[in-house]
Chain A
Amino acid sequence: MREFEVVSPHARLVRWLLGSWAAFVYVFLFAPILVLVAFSFNANQYGTFPFTGWTLHWYGQVFHDYQIKDALFTTLKISAEVTAVATIVGTAAAFPLVRSKLPFRSGIRIGMTLPIMIPGLLIGVSLLVLLTDVFHLQLNEQTAVIGQSVYTTPFVVLLVAARLQGFDPALERAASDLGANTYRRLRYVVLPLIMPAVFAGALFAFTLSLDEFIITLFLIGAHNTLPIYIYTQVKFGITPEVNALATLLLLASLCLILLAFVLPMTVRRVRRLVRA
């Protein structure tokens, strides 16, 4: 007891220091983003300091820029295709990863996460060599879809596998005891249970694809996605229009991600309510 009394003023100092450190961390994390958002409303035509007044002018420009409109359509098309591929391939792979008697399971697991871990640059250049120099393909949206699918699928695998792991195999055995065949077990027992994870995986894949930059840079060819368009603009400096576009894109990703985090929880809660 005596010792705690001796330690306690010191402990309060440590607590205070760590708390301030945490506050500093949050400022560090969000300040650049907030500055960017603030500047997107700044009337100053150079898009930076000083603040000369509030305006929505730059947003108006974003909505009337046909290049941005083109890039947006390309981005959405690519993201939709990538999401479909990643969700189907990733969900299918999660089953044997969790369920089958797998030799080297942890090795395969690490192998599956390799496309996330290694720098996207390596995926980009190696696919560029394969697709153009060996397969002699023209670079277009489709080649970008291939590259992004390689990168996003592991996220779906990990999410769905995590959900499958926490799911009672007795439920399925019960279903088959009651006469359900493979299809019915999948359709009425397994899929409803893992659906929130599949959906979250799809949302993550969509968001990642929407924002993907480095792999796309190598594989998109003459087309533009929004990040590539922003990059070509940014190379020559800051423009208020890009700030506005960036703010919109950040907002879109944030909404999608919050949805991905919240959705599985909400689904569970609603189910519980319905059952009760």
Chain B
Amino acid sequence: MLDTATTAPATARGRSRLRRASRLVQYAGFLPALGLFGVFFALPLGLIVAYSFWETIDYNVVHHWTFDNYHYFFSVSTYVHTMWATIWVSVIATALTIGVAFPFTYWLVRYVRRGALQRLLLVLVILPFWTSYLLRVYSWLNILGDGGAINRFLQWTHLTHHPLSFFLYDRPAVILVLVYLYFPFAVLTLYASLERFDWDQFKAAMDLGATPRVAITRILLPQIKPGITTAVIFVFIPILGEYLAPQLVGGAQGVMIGNLIVNFFTGAQYTRGAAAALLIAALIVVLLVVFRRSLEVEDPYRA
């Protein structure tokens, strides 16, 4: 939009000065974003890094470099246990999410005719993603909780007299809700890559004698691998820092590292909380760096 063509009658010298100016001006649009993300995103994240290596003495943060916060975190077995549990829950929830989403997306792309119907079915999946995250977790409380639909129904039909805690307020409940929360993410990214796949290649493979299974594993999967990686990463990362789902449906058993971090910060233990937060952030950065080449960043609503 800022090319120099406007200045057609300008002198050569004026033109070159303008060109130099416009070379800088073309980046001007970044300035507000640079301010916003620089001061309120990059700076605070950097601060968290620094805090995690500083000390809290009498509720004051002292700029004294130390590994104490990390030592402390790894010396408390509950914290270490929670960290491993978080990683496990994230792995299982991600696997289940992709496991549910892949056959669904495959069906959507392969068996629903391209056009209005396919778009509508896709939008229906994405729609819950745009509604309140809090309410989507809360809606499960209506079903799973002590006073939730399942327990009330069991009591009402006199199958049991006390609320069952089996499956409710436990890790399986957290995983179920996490799959529910991040399912649209997975479908969206998988759809983006499946939609681009050339199904004629699939037919060609079958014509040449491949069984459907061979055609899927040898032709389809290798080509949509970047899409699957992206889906895995995009689901796994937010689950790592999940706070609300374990808080509302997890009970004492379902605690994840996000809950620990919140407890540290609400308890004014900023430096210890920063260390715990940085453990997650570091894991995320490692994942992003390792998989950066296979990530496909698309706009979030290409429906």
B131 x A123 contact (CB < 8 A)? no
Segment 182-218 of A: residues with Cβ below 8 Å from B: 182, 185-186, 190, 204, 207-208, 210-211, 213-214, 218
CB distance from A102 to the nearest CB of B (A): 8
**Smallest Cβ-Cβ distance to A158: which chain B residue:** B299
**Smallest Cβ-Cβ distance to A216: which chain B residue:** B134
Segment 233-259 of A: residues with Cβ below 8 Å from B: 234, 237-238, 242-243, 246, 249-250, 253-254, 257
Partner of A46, one of B6, B29, B128, B147: B147
Q: Given known contacts A129-B274, A158-B299, is B41 in contact with A123 (CB within 8 Å)? A: yes
How far is A133 from B54 in the complex, measured between Cα atoms in Å? 13
Q: Given known contacts A33-B128, A49-B156, A117-B234, is B135 in contact with A237 (CB within 8 Å)? A: no
**Smallest Cβ-Cβ distance to B258: which chain A residue:** A121
Which residues from chain B sit less than 8 Å from chain A, CB to CB?
1-3, 5-6, 26-33, 36-37, 40-41, 43-45, 47-48, 51, 61, 100, 103-104, 106-108, 111, 121, 123-125, 127-128, 130-136, 138-143, 145-149, 152-153, 156, 180, 183, 206, 209, 212, 234, 237-238, 240-244, 248, 258, 261-262, 265, 270, 273-274, 277, 280-281, 284, 288, 292, 295, 297, 299-303
A126 x B292 contact (CB < 8 A)? no
Q: Given known contacts A21-B107, A36-B135, A125-B277, is B5 in contact with A173 (CB within 8 Å)? A: yes
B103 x A21 contact (CB < 8 A)? yes
**A33 / chain B contacts, CB cutoff of 8 Å:** 128, 131, 136, 139
- Against B, the Cβ 8 Å flags (1 = close, 0 = not) of A30-61 are 11110110010000001111100000000000
B265 x A96 contact (CB < 8 A)? no
A93 x B29 contact (CB < 8 A)? yes
**B31 / chain A contacts, CB cutoff of 8 Å:** 92
B131 x A32 contact (CB < 8 A)? no
Q: Which of B133, B145, B153, B242 has the most CB of A within 10 A?
A: B133
Q: Which of A14, A125, A161 has the most CB of B within 10 A?
A: A125
CB distance from A132 to the nearest CB of B (A): 9
Describe B's contact surface by its main secondary structure: helix
CB distance from A107 to the nearest CB of B (A): 8
Partner of A254, one of B37, B47, B51, B131: B131
**B292 / chain A contacts, CB cutoff of 8 Å:** 110
**Smallest Cβ-Cβ distance to B184: which chain A residue:** A29
A261 x B123 contact (CB < 8 A)? yes
How far is A169 from B154 in the complex, measured between Cα atoms in Å? 64
In the complex, A181 has a CB within 8 A of chain B:
yes
- Against B, the Cβ 8 Å flags (1 = close, 0 = not) of A90-102 are 1011111101110
A96 x B28 contact (CB < 8 A)? yes
Describe A's contact surface by its main secondary structure: helix
CB distance from A13 to the nearest CB of B (A): 11
Would you give 25 A-B contacts (Cβ < 8 Å), ordered by A?
A15-B111, A18-B104, A26-B124, A29-B124, A33-B136, A48-B142, A48-B148, A50-B156, A92-B30, A93-B30, A95-B29, A96-B27, A100-B27, A111-B37, A115-B37, A122-B48, A126-B48, A133-B61, A159-B300, A211-B132, A214-B133, A230-B138, A238-B142, A250-B131, A253-B131
A95 x B36 contact (CB < 8 A)? no
A125 x B261 contact (CB < 8 A)? yes
Q: Given known contacts A129-B51, A130-B43, is B1 in contact with A211 (CB within 8 Å)? A: no
B248 x A238 contact (CB < 8 A)? no
Q: Given known contacts A150-B36, A211-B131, A238-B148, is B104 in contact with A22 (CB within 8 Å)? A: yes
Partner of A257, one of B47, B130, B240: B130
B32 x A119 contact (CB < 8 A)? no
5 closest A-B pairs by beta carbon, nearest first, are A119-B241, A49-B152, A126-B44, A93-B33, A211-B132
B1 x A230 contact (CB < 8 A)? no
B297 x A261 contact (CB < 8 A)? no
How far is A234 from B141 in the complex, measured between Cα atoms in Å? 9
| Known A227-B132, A249-B135; further 8 A-B contacts with Cβ < 8 A | A32-B139, A35-B143, A48-B148, A119-B242, A133-B61, A158-B300, A204-B301, A207-B130
**A261 / chain B contacts, CB cutoff of 8 Å:** 123, 301, 303
A176 x B47 contact (CB < 8 A)? no
How far is A208 from B32 in the complex, measured between Cα atoms in Å? 20
- Against B, the Cβ 8 Å flags (1 = close, 0 = not) of A4-24 are 000100010011001101100
Q: Given known contacts A125-B48, A230-B138, is B32 in contact with A88 (CB within 8 Å)? A: yes
CB distance from B197 to the nearest CB of A (A): 16
CB distance from A47 to the nearest CB of B (A): 8
Partner of A253, one of B30, B132, B281, B288: B132
